[in-house]
């Protein structure tokens, strides 16, 4: 029997109608490309998004046109987030921190016809614009455009002038919920960037998931600061969740510098924030340097994208801020597991175990563990294998990629290694491509990094595999010490005794002043391997315990 329910389409048109008709008074505070503070209501946002959609229509860009963006977390970017897909066009967010060659590659593969960019990104864009055969219009936001505009092989127009061409409202008619709404490419840390096209339905469902209390938990009483670039997995879906919940939204603009974030937090009083661990660790260092002991009204931070050091969770707890770890990836529309502690957890040890897990899978998604031959392993918190995931906001395929190697019986192979326990908590041990296989056994680099990071002198660390004649691979640790600290490799090895299996303890150590990170703040192990590969061995071998390690190759 068919249900009797209405089959209205989920998606951005519905979200925009709700955002302006019901949550119309909620506010968005943003920092413009020129560094100015702008405040607008959701109703004003919807009007400007309407102007953008209408102006594109008037200029002959029909539904299905791909509109790229190269922009910071600004109100104009948010207007494009809504006006472009809610009118049936497709938004394509380009990572502003990628190399021009990679930006060209993804803009070409997404078939961008219009590109909206912050004026400071125009010069970089102009260097590869000729490689985009479909490009017809470039829209510049901010005032730094004039000098290089002629180098772009098509018409350019100022964003505000384009908006002035459009009427402030359109009807936001429903769109088939399975149509593509936004394209985002993976970061390319493990190969060429691959395109994921989120549907209206997947964006809607994921935003609802974020609003639930077991996830970020947003309501119209909140004020949210996503310290997340809008080009990274739809800003983790947070702007859509904010529009759904009617919570105030603070967009930090182009700069995620810790002092700029602290100033925003003090001035705008967000209650909830999000971002990668590096950003929140930098904020903490800046607070310490300035002797600050409070962060406005902030009560929780959803932190993920990379392993969150337990020390960081403890340090934020001491400020009265609950830092909750989250795990997800471009292919799963970001946050797919969140480490909220359930009420039945009573002991301090269990609380610690929950908080240091990557998270508990959210309702709507399912995870399983698989061995490398494809057999499903028990979800007992012990069996380590590849984490696989499926659900309505997990990608089925990549744009223009024929092979199905990323799937196993319809489950997405995440490339992450770890365990899942009987309560759905995921604990990662490694990324498949970063795993260290020593004498036929895995050494989990994430656990080893955590143990090294627990030494009081260590600021940051990355562990990679290096080739070894006897064991095939051995771990190598690249360490950044805190300023004025002098811990030696033997001291760090001694610190690890009793904390990890003896055979995990690295013989290879290097000290450097910064670990290379990707454009979204993850440890860039591919880059570290490239740099280290050229100068290995930089080793402290087992019979040289007393010797000092060689200086690391420069990691910058």
Contact status: 416 vs ligand ADP (CB under 6 A): yes
Contact status: 307 vs ligand ADP (CB under 6 A): yes
Of 264 and 361, nearer to ligand ADP (C-beta) is 361
Q: Which 3 state secondary structure label does DSSP give 19?
A: helix
Distance from C-alpha of 45 to C-alpha of 451, rounded to nearest angstrom: 47
Task: Please pick, among 65, 93, 186, 395, the residue that the annotation labels catalytic.
Answer: 186
Query: At closest approach, how far in Å is the CB of 309 from ligand ADP?
Result: 10
Distance from C-alpha of 132 to C-alpha of 152, rounded to nearest angstrom: 11
Dump strand ranges (E) for 7-144.
27-31, 37-41, 66-70, 90-93, 114-118, 137-141
Query: At closest approach, how far in Å is the CB of 1 from ligand ADP?
Result: 41
Q: The tokens of 437 are what?
A: 């296989």
Please provide the DSSP assignment of 226-269 as one string: E-S-TTSTGGGGHHHHHHHHT-EEEE-BT---HHHHHHHHHHH-
Distance from C-alpha of 397 to C-alpha of 199, rounded to nearest angstrom: 12
First-to-last alpha carbon distance for the chain, in angstroms, is: 63
Query: At closest approach, how far in Å is the CB of 370 from ligand ADP?
Result: 15
Contact status: 226 vs ligand ADP (CB under 6 A): no
Segment lying near ligand ADP (by CB under 6 A), choices 235-243, 264-272, 278-286, 327-335: 327-335
Rounded to the nearest 10 degrees, the angle between the axes of helix 489-496 and helix 445-453 is 110
Contact status: 428 vs ligand ADP (CB under 6 A): yes
Query: At closest approach, how far in Å is the CB of 138 from ligand ADP?
Result: 27
Contact status: 195 vs ligand ADP (CB under 6 A): no
Segment lying near ligand ADP (by CB under 6 A), choices 288-296, 302-310, 365-373, 532-540: 302-310
Q: Count residues binding ligand ADP (CB under 6 A).
A: 20
Query: At closest approach, how far in Å is the CB of 218 from ligand ADP?
Result: 20
Cβ(532)–Cβ(475) below 8 Å:
no
Cβ(75)–Cβ(51) below 8 Å:
no
Task: Please pick, among 437, 441, 503, 541, the residue that the annotation labels catalytic.
Answer: 437
Residue where the block lists tokens 């994208």? 305
Task: Please pick, among 108, 442, 471, 482, the residue that the annotation labels catalytic.
Answer: 442
Of 137 and 463, nearer to ligand ADP (C-beta) is 463
Query: At closest approach, how far in Å is the CB of 70 from ligand ADP?
Result: 18
Query: At closest approach, how far in Å is the CB of 556 from ligand ADP?
Result: 20
Contact status: 187 vs ligand ADP (CB under 6 A): yes
Query: At closest approach, how far in Å is the CB of 327 from ligand ADP?
Result: 4
Contact status: 414 vs ligand ADP (CB under 6 A): yes
Other beta carbons less than 10 A from residue 43's beta carbon: 14
Segment lying near ligand ADP (by CB under 6 A), choices 72-80, 324-332, 397-405, 541-549: 324-332
Of 167 and 317, nearer to ligand ADP (C-beta) is 317
Among 74, 234, 281, 325, binds ligand ADP (CB under 6 A): 325
Q: The tokens of 197 are what?
A: 């096209």
Q: Which 3 state secondary structure label does DSSP give 278?
A: helix
Of 91 and 523, nearer to ligand ADP (C-beta) is 523
H helix or E strand, kind and range, residue 369: strand 366-370
93 in active site: no
Of 47 and 414, nearer to ligand ADP (C-beta) is 414
Cβ(417)–Cβ(431) below 8 Å:
yes
Contact status: 186 vs ligand ADP (CB under 6 A): yes
Residue where the block lists tokens 């803009």? 107
482 in active site: no
Other beta carbons less than 10 A from residue 252's beta carbon: 27
Instruction: Tell which positions 365-404 bind ligand ADP, by CB under 6 A.
Output: none
331 in active site: yes
Distance from C-alpha of 200 to C-alpha of 202, rounded to nearest angstrom: 6
DSSP designation for 113? S
437 in active site: yes
Contact status: 305 vs ligand ADP (CB under 6 A): yes
Any alpha helices (H) in 88-237, and if so which ranges? 100-109, 122-126, 159-164, 200-211
Contact status: 119 vs ligand ADP (CB under 6 A): no
CA 49 to chain centre: 25
Of 126 and 338, nearer to ligand ADP (C-beta) is 338
CA 225 to chain centre: 14
Whether the bond between 412 and the residue before it is cis, its omega within 30 degrees of 0, is no
Instruction: Tell which positions 505-544 bind ligand ADP, by CB under 6 A.
Output: 520, 522
61: left (phi over 0), alpha (psi -120 to 50) or beta: beta
Of 127 and 356, nearer to ligand ADP (C-beta) is 356
Contact status: 327 vs ligand ADP (CB under 6 A): yes
Which residues are part of the catalytic machinery?
Answer: 186, 331, 437, 442
Which spans of this chain sit near ligand ADP (rule: CB under 6 A)?
Answer: 186-189, 304-308, 325, 327, 329-330, 358, 414, 416, 428, 431, 520, 522
């Amino acid at each position: 029997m068919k249900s009797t329910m209405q089959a209205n389409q989920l998606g951005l048109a519905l979200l925009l109608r709700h955002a302006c008709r019901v949550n119309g008074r909620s506010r968005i505070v943003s920092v413009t490309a020129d560094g100015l503070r702008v405040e607008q209501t959701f109703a004003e946002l919807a009007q400007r998004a309407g102007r953008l959609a209408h102006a594109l229509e008037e200029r002959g860009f029909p539904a299905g046109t791909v509109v790229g963006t190269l922009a910071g977390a600004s109100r104009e970017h948010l207007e494009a987030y809504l006006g472009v897909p809610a009118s049936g066009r497709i938004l394509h967010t380009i990572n502003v921190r990628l190399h021009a060659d990679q930006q060209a590659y993804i803009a070409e593969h997404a078939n961008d016809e219009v590109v909206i960019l912050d004026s400071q990104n125009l010069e970089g864009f102009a260097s590869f614009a000729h490689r985009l055969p479909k490009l017809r219009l470039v829209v510049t936001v901010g005032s730094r455009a004039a000098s290089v505009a002629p180098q772009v092989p098509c018409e350019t127009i100022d964003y505000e002038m384009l908006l002035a061409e459009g009427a402030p409202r359109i009807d936001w008619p429903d769109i088939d919920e399975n149509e593509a709404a936004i394209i985002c490419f993976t970061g390319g840390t493990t190969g060429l960037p691959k395109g994921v096209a989120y549907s209206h339905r997947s964006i809607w469902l994921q935003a609802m998931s974020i609003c639930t209390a077991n996830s970020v938990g947003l309501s119209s009483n909140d004020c949210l600061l996503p310290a997340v670039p809008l080009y990274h997995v739809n800003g983790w879906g947070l702007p859509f969740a904010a529009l759904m919940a009617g919570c105030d939204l603070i967009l930090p603009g182009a700069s995620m510098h810790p002092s700029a974030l602290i100033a925003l937090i003090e001035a705008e009083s967000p209650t909830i924030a999000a971002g990668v661990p590096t950003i929140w660790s930098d904020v903490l260092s800046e607070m310490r340097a300035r002797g600050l002991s409070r962060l406005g009204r902030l009560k929780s931070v959803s932190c993920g994208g990379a392993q969150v050091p337990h020390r960081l969770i403890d340090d934020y707890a001491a400020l009265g801020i609950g830092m909750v770890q989250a795990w997800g990836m471009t292919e799963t529309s970001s946050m797919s597991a969140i480490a909220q502690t359930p009420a039945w957890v009573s002991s301090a040890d269990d609380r610690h175990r929950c908080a240091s897990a990557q998270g508990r899978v959210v309702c709507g998604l399912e995870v399983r563990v698989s061995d490398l031959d494809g057999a499903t392993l028990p979800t007992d918190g012990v069996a380590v294998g590849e984490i696989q995931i499926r659900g309505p906001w997990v990608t089925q395929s990549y744009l223009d990629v024929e092979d199905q190697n990323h799937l196993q019986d319809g489950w997405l192979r995440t490339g992450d290694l770890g365990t899942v326990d009987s309560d759905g908590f995921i604990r990662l041990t490694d990324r498949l491509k970063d795993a260290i296989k020593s004498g036929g056994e895995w050494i989990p680099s994430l656990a080893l990094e955590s143990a090294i990071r627990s030494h009081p002198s260590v600021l940051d660390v990355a562990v990679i595999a290096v080739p070894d004649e006897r064991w095939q691979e051995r771990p190598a640790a690249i360490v950044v010490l805190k300023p004025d600290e002098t811990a030696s490799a033997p001291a760090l090895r001694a610190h690890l005794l009793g904390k990890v299996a003896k055979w995990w303890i690295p013989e290879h150590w290097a000290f450097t002043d910064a670990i290379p990170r990707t454009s979204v703040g993850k440890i860039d192990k591919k880059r570290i391997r490239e740099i280290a590969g050229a100068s290995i061995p930089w080793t402290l071998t087992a019979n040289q315990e007393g010797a000092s390690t060689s200086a690391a190759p420069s990691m910058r």
